[in-house]
Structure 1
Amino acid sequence: MSESSGAASTVLVNCTVVDGRIVDGVGPLPDAAVWVRDDRIAAVGPRDEVLAQAGEQGGFARVDLDGAYVTPGLTNMHTHLSLSLPGSGGDGVKGMSPHELAFYMADGARRTLLCGVTTVRCVAEKDHADFALRRAIAAGRVVGPRIFTAGRALVCTGGHGHESGDTMECDGADGFRRGVRSQVKAGADLIKVMISGGIAGEHESIHTRQLFTDELRAVIDTAHAWGRRVTAHAGPAPVIAEAVELGLDCVEHGYQLTPEVVARMAERGTALVPTLLVTRCKEFFDELGVPEWMQCRSLGAGPRHLESYAMALEAGVEVLLGSDMPPFWHFEGTNASVRELEYMSEGGIGPAHALYAGTLGPIRWLGAEADLGTVETGKYADLVAMDADPTAETSAFRGIRWVMKGGRVVRDDRSGWSAQ
């Protein structure tokens, strides 16, 4: 299939359609067809009905998907396209000029889309390059996923991630209010704040508290006043508990949760992006030359991290896909996004809820469900196709062989074509 397959009117046939609504009892639709007109879904339903409907409107291109399962593209909620961990690999990224960084991030965006991730939530990118990349993708100058971004993450002086241009150092309630407003001014869709130490800070521990109550309240209240949700890098239970009471919308990592904290998260509707990969990825660390101190801290946190995830599931906390590793990175036989989703599925949610956690759940958190997240009439045609049933096994996503974003086919393995 050539690039011209993104015709103004296309009908996808010979497929089974399924999306995250399966957790609400909306089952797969076999022998289906999806009519894509321009960048949106014009109709979806039984094949003959959709073909007749499209035919009434004139000519269309017919694309046979050879019995594939069609789902929405994945949404990765913890993305860093300018990631630079301690070590030689990260030093190379930190040493890039602004021009080099722009090309590096654009290449990462392209690779992300081609692996089936059609939407990302960036949660700390260098020097506001993410805003330029978002504009370039929207204008069609760069191939990449839809981007929702926090801009630069907010940290205290010397706080987690302060060493790079993807964070902004603030102090005091007034300083953090200015930090929130500065990211909103730049175009941020959400706010990210570092409220504890983490695995990548040499002079801190996961337990290190990094914001006082007035600072944390200032971030959350100011962001909410501007209509922006707040997510927090956070590991230990006490600081998470306080943030949840103050209105935090999402927790990243949650390495050391407790039954009491996850119960409150569930009550308050605070989501969790567990990023399970980050405490079980020695191969990735070795590839980037990550130092031994960080590897020990990360891998050593793994067992407790899984326990926290299990607690969250038992309490009914909503969990969402986020890899922390670059979404496209080849890891353990697939890409980081799919491997994270597999870990989440194996850790207790199972394939059907994993499909939800990788598609509709994140889109609902982002407030974009009017346009994205399901295969429904009126939504953007951001779709992927695979041969195996993702509701039977999450590993089906390893077999993604066809990707469409906004009505344009960007990958089709049958013809060997992809957007380059």
Structure 2
Amino acid sequence: MNRITDIALWDGEAPRGTSTLEWALDGTDGVITDVRPADAATEASGEFSVIPGLIDTHVHLVGNAGSRPADFLTWPLVTRPEEQTLHGLANAMTALRAGVTTVRDLSADDIQFSMRRAIDDAVVAGPRVLAHGMVSMTAGHGDLFIPPAFPLRKPLADGPDECRKLVRHWARAGADGVKIATSGGVLSVGDKSAWRNYTSAEIDAIVDEAHALGLRVAAHAHTAAGIDAALEHGVDSIEHGTLLSHEQARRIVDAGITVAPTLLINDRIAGGENGVSPEQSAKAAELVEQRDALMRAAADAGVDFVLGTDANGHHVRFGDQMAEVRLMASIFGWTPGRALEAATTRAARAIGRETRVGRLTPGHLADFIVLRGRPWEQIDALDTANIVAVVSRGRVVQGELPARG
């Protein structure tokens, strides 16, 4: 039995005071067996606290993790899949050491499916990985990352029947879900965020087939029209949601779906950082100009915003997740506790894993962070500089557990 005692604990929903946390190893995993008030009726000794591991619901693991600079768009085209896998694993480990114990990759293929299986089998260490295959149309957001003359393109689908077939392909390959675009994007080349992606019949076929096969559907949507299309067809989450209207906020709340706002990445692209092109910067700036007020109003209306960074190792690095949570708290006017929920319990519900991750309670998996400070009281304490230890699958993967408290 493993134990931390006399430590301030926030369980994913509320502070529990000075507590003892116990967990046991179960094969390749770890399970929380008990969370109880500490034996001594005293304040937590020392300066440490414990919270659940963070959950990033929107990442792209495969990206340059090396020390040599690489162009974001061309690196995947000139790097062999075997090498991309190693970079993806390095990004996954960077996230894990920064307290992100679960990630959902929203543009996955055999690389991420293989990575997930190897991590689950304890062949290599890494966070829990969920992987969604991309269902994109010709000349859609997902397709416009590939130059016209480049011969190798990701799978595409046009027309309802092809859309159903591609969903089935991803299900057969082992995907946890699929991602679609219902608007154009920012980083895709020659794209406009206002462009329509897919017809109503195509979206209906994708969502229907995915749900028939038990797969969740995440919808990339920046514009009001894109958000409308996603809502009309019953997707399970909206990614970005940058220009959501007041009326759409009400519909999102009524539907009970989540929104991952991906704030940092759009701020950085709009600011021209990390070698983005003038076209990319201008597209992001146009969106960000209206974003904050709309999203603050949506948060006030009860929209369930969750942590989703769009981390790719280039514009947002793996390890920037805590900074994203702090920014969410600032823009949405949240209490520190609500901001932490966005990265733990609420994020767990967004990916359909709320019975296993995101909380410190018996029966949940032993993924947690020991920090200096109490981030549910002061959100600035949620900082990688304050990490004392990260536990994933019941094992310490970063730092050292305090001997007491």
The two structures have a TM-score, normalised by structure 2, of 0.88
Across the aligned residues of Structure 1 and Structure 2, the Cα RMSD in angstroms comes to 2.5
> Given the alignment, which residue of 391, 395, 402 partners 1:408?
395
**Per-residue CA shift, 1:379-417, capped at 9, x if unaligned?**
1110101111111222222022210011100111689xx
Instruction: Output the CA distance in 2 between the equivalents of 1:328 and 1:351.
Output: 28
State the one-letter code of the partner of 2:60. H
**Per-residue CA shift, 1:332-373, capped at 9, x if unaligned?**
xx9321111111111122311111100011111222222211
The question of 1:323 aligning with 2:309 is answered yes
Per-residue deviation at 1:282?
Answer: 4.8
Aligned partner of 1:42 in structure 2 is 33
Instruction: Output the CA distance in 2 between the equivalents of 1:413 and 1:381.
Output: 15
State the one-letter code of the partner of 2:122. G
Aligned partner of 2:78 in structure 1 is 95
Aligned partner of 2:226 in structure 1 is 239
The question of 1:144 aligning with 2:136 is answered no
Aligned partner of 1:354 in structure 2 is 339
State the one-letter code of the partner of 1:210. N
- What stretches of structure 2 of length at least 5 have no aligned partner? 65-69, 147-151
8 A Cα contact 2:366 2:394, kept in partner: yes
8 A Cα contact 1:10 1:37, kept in partner: yes
Runs of 4+ off more than 6 Å: 327-331
Per-residue deviation at 1:47?
Answer: 2.1
Q: What SS does structure 1 have at the residue aligned with 2:382?
A: helix
Aligned partner of 2:104 in structure 1 is 121
Instruction: Output the CA distance in 1 between the equivalents of 2:277 and 2:219.
Output: 25
**Per-residue CA shift, 1:298-336, capped at 9, x if unaligned?**
2332121223312321221111101112379877xx932
Where is the helix percentage greater, Structure 1 or Structure 2? Answer: 1
8 A Cα contact 1:33 1:45, kept in partner: yes
Aligned partner of 1:374 in structure 2 is 359
State the one-letter code of the partner of 2:323. R
Instruction: Output the CA distance in 1 between the equivalents of 2:153 and 2:249.
Output: 29
> Given the alignment, which residue of 296, 303, 308 partners 1:310?
296
Structure 1 residues 304 and 167: CA distance shift in structure 2, 3 A:
farther
Per-residue deviation at 1:11?
Answer: 1.0
8 A Cα contact 1:20 1:359, kept in partner: yes
Structure 1 residues 145 and 414: CA distance shift in structure 2, 3 A:
closer
Structure 1 residues 161 and 136: CA distance shift in structure 2, 3 A:
same
What is the total number of aligned residue pairs between the two structures? 382
**Per-residue CA shift, 1:265-323, capped at 9, x if unaligned?**
11111211110112211599633x22221122223321212233123212211111011
Instruction: Output the CA distance in 1 between the equivalents of 2:258 and 2:324.
Output: 16
Instruction: Output the CA distance in 1 between the equivalents of 2:277 and 2:190.
Output: 14
Structure 1 residues 284 and 106: CA distance shift in structure 2, 3 A:
farther
> Given the alignment, which residue of 250, 261, 267 partners 1:274?
261
Per-residue deviation at 1:157?
Answer: 0.4
Structure 1 residues 230 and 281: CA distance shift in structure 2, 3 A:
same
The question of 1:77 aligning with 2:57 is answered yes
State the one-letter code of the partner of 2:218. T
Aligned partner of 1:212 in structure 2 is 199
Instruction: Output the CA distance in 2 between the equivalents of 1:276 and 1:219.
Output: 27
Instruction: Output the CA distance in 2 between the equivalents of 1:231 and 1:271.
Output: 10
How many percent identity over aligned positions?
Answer: 30
Per-residue deviation at 1:89?
Answer: 3.6
State the one-letter code of the partner of 1:137. I
- What stretches of structure 1 of length at least 5 have no aligned partner? 1-8, 23-27, 50-63, 416-420
Aligned partner of 2:67 in structure 1 is none
8 A Cα contact 2:56 2:104, kept in partner: yes
Q: What SS does structure 1 have at the residue aligned with 2:292?
A: helix
The two structures have a TM-score, normalised by structure 1, of 0.85
